[in-house]
Amino acid sequence: MSVLPFDQRDGFIWMDGALVPWQDAKLHVLSHGLHYASCCFEGERAYGGVIFKSREHSERFRNSANLLDFEIPYSVEEIGAAKALVVAKNGFDNCYVRPVAWRGSEMMAVAAQHATIHVAIACWDWPSMFDVETKMKGIKVDIAEYRRPDPLTAPCHSKAAGLYMICTISKHRAERRGYADALMLDWQGRVAECTGANILFTKDGAIHTPIADCFLNGITRQTVIGLARARGIEVIERRIMPEELASFEECFICGTGAEVTPVSEIGPYNFAPGAISRVLIEEYAKATQPQKAAA
């Protein structure tokens, strides 16, 4: 399948305070963020031209940078306005939004306290990938070899670029083996998350999901938990061991890209996407597209 490379597309990207033509948004090969992973980002989505939970994402964006020991030189309000401008300028209705911040090229060593902090915001067309019935068939998930790190060894609550290295490796391996994604365990061998989405299970009418202490407590995860509780569904956040997977009935992942996507298989374990998955797919669609819910 031929896909137009991201550096060759048309449109506009907001970079360091101004809109620039898409193909002119460049950084030098000796940027600190490229060599030493001093970079953080956000994954957001606009529905009907409006970014879902934009402020929460902007707040996390700034917090991610602080955890990497640098400060984004724009306020939450300024970031929010820039994101809205990029979506509008590119003329997208439903799209993915990617803010990113990184240390520049003034210093090229482990220490780079005086490097300039750069910020860019791009967006691209990204409609919902599947309809409800297609989603309800469920995806197949592998079990990754790499694990999420001990929170004492990495800034796990930052959406830091460096923390996604093992996610890319794990997803590539899973796709080569015929799976859509991979389940990652934590450093103690407990269920954690998938490579770019949080994971939830159901049993006896309740949702069970891992405690988000060594991985991101995703904004979509928080939204889905809130939607479930509003519908009277009990949500239990706890430690989950891999051998427990055989006891669960439904499984689904959630994230900006995945939204709410049921899982039919994790390695040797099988699940039957059912009523709770369907309800949360529908409730999430209503939450992200309120104008359609009211129609």
Contact 77, 99 (CB under 8 A): no
d(CA 56, CA 195): 21
Annotated active-site positions, please? Answer: 159
205 to 51, 217, 261: CA distances (angstroms): 32, 23, 18
Q: Is the dihedral of CA 154, 197, 122, 289 positive or negative?
A: negative
Q: Residue 55 in 3-state DSSP? A: helix
Contact 24, 60 (CB under 8 A): no
Q: Is beta strand 206-210 parallel, antiparallel or unpaired with respect to 235-238?
A: parallel
